[in-house]
Amino acid sequence: MNPPKIKKRVGKYEVGRTIGEGTFAKVKFARNSETGEPVALKILDKDKVLKHKMAEQIRREVATMKLIKHPHVVRLYEVMGSKTKIYIVLEFVTGGELFDKIVNHGRMREDEARKYFQQLINTVDYCHSRGVYHRDLKPENLLLDASGNLKVSDFGLSALSQQVRDDGLLHTACGTPNYVAPEVLNDQGYDGATADLWSCGVILFVLLAGYLPFDDSNVISLYKKISCADYTCPPWLSFGVRKLITRILDPNPMTRITVSEILEDEWFRKNYKPPVFDEKEETNLDDVEAVFKDSEEYHVTEKTEEQPVAMNAFELISMSKGLNLGNLFDEEFKRETRFTSKCPANEIISKIEEAVKPLGFDVRKKNYKMRLENVKAGRKGNLNVATQVFQVAPSLHMVEVRKAKGDTLEFHKFYKNLSTSLEDVVWKTEDDMQAK
């Protein structure tokens, strides 16, 4: 079976699979055909940007992000435009989310949490000094590079991930209120720097405790807890870090600790080594201006060609931790995962559909892709899951399962249920059989 696949090129970039989705943007894996370097390609729809009157804001923030060259911020390399799309070329970060470490291994020891917190505060301080505020800091926006160092994503581009309501307006209290400062929830104007610091304090708490300081299924009760900083530190935290968390999670932004005060804190300063990097590299903003002036002479070339969905060895290895394709689940849980099967593609699709309907999911199918949507809303709206069947060999398929929208922990639970239902579909190697 050879389901069709569209191979796409944008300028010098070969565009691959989808690795993330947001309200305005889709993020795809891509490769620079001149250098072979992998990148993440954020694709924005021009009509949506214009409809919501966001062009000037995005232009300003993209230009600012090009100037940010901090080792702990995901780099923005260039911007391109076509007649209908804006393409933002970003550094491709391979170490997954910091959130995954908490899901997999629980809370961190203080030394490990302190290292990530030091990198986060150094990054926040650098960006704030240049007038750039994140506004949506949370573990899912904190990535890790191949060396295990922090990479903050969407710094300065957070407006792209905020929710647009029916009135077409952006509303600041976006998808994850658990991390949002009380003054942001009050919706009476706020200082971006002190609001970001509050989110850093919640992140530090989560790293050390393994759970949220403010959590309640009732949104009104949650807001009340945040507004009066109603939380309890777990007993295993040292006195030094308790004191620091208390000063960060101060509901009054006027008396909340500042970055300069954090940098002097005794607990924070232990083994602190700020990164050394060269800021003198020149940055050209001509591409940003060209894209947002929308001049046809600067439009990037888009090419598509139809070919069978065959996955070559390089793609397969880049998507897998190793060559043991029999594993149903990676030991490390992420927002996307995959398994292999010797069943025909149509049978795989049918089995997935059969498995998810009792779990309360609506199913949409097209060209061996499926979109699964939970009819019941969860903590962050309705969980959406995207799946696609790839052909590795004539009798071997790989199935990718990815969270498109909703809560990561709910996706984790969904995937566990799915695995139980698909045991007879997944290809098991001889090693897997002997392990049983």
Binding-site annotation: residue ranges for ATP: 42
125 is catalytic: no
Residues 248 and 259: their CA atoms lie apart, in Å, by 10
Judge whether 87 and 43 are in contact, CB under 8 Å.
yes
Convert 278-299 to b/e letters by CB count within 10 Å (16 or more is b): eeeeeeeeebbebbbeeeeeeb
Catalytic residue (choose from 45, 47, 100, 136): 136
Q: Burial, 196: exposed, middle or buried (Cβ in 10 Å; 0-12, 13-18, 19+)?
A: buried
Judge whether 228 and 251 are in contact, CB under 8 Å.
yes
What are the helix (H) ranges across 210-340?
219-227, 239-248, 259-263, 266-269, 286-293, 313-319
Residues 325 and 428: their CA atoms lie apart, in Å, by 8
Give binding residues as ranges: 42
The β-bridge partners of 44 are 25, 86
3-state helix/strand/coil string of 112-143: HHHHHHHHHHHHHHHHHHCCCCCCCCCHHHEE
Structure tokens at 243: 């004191």
| Residues noted as catalytic | 136
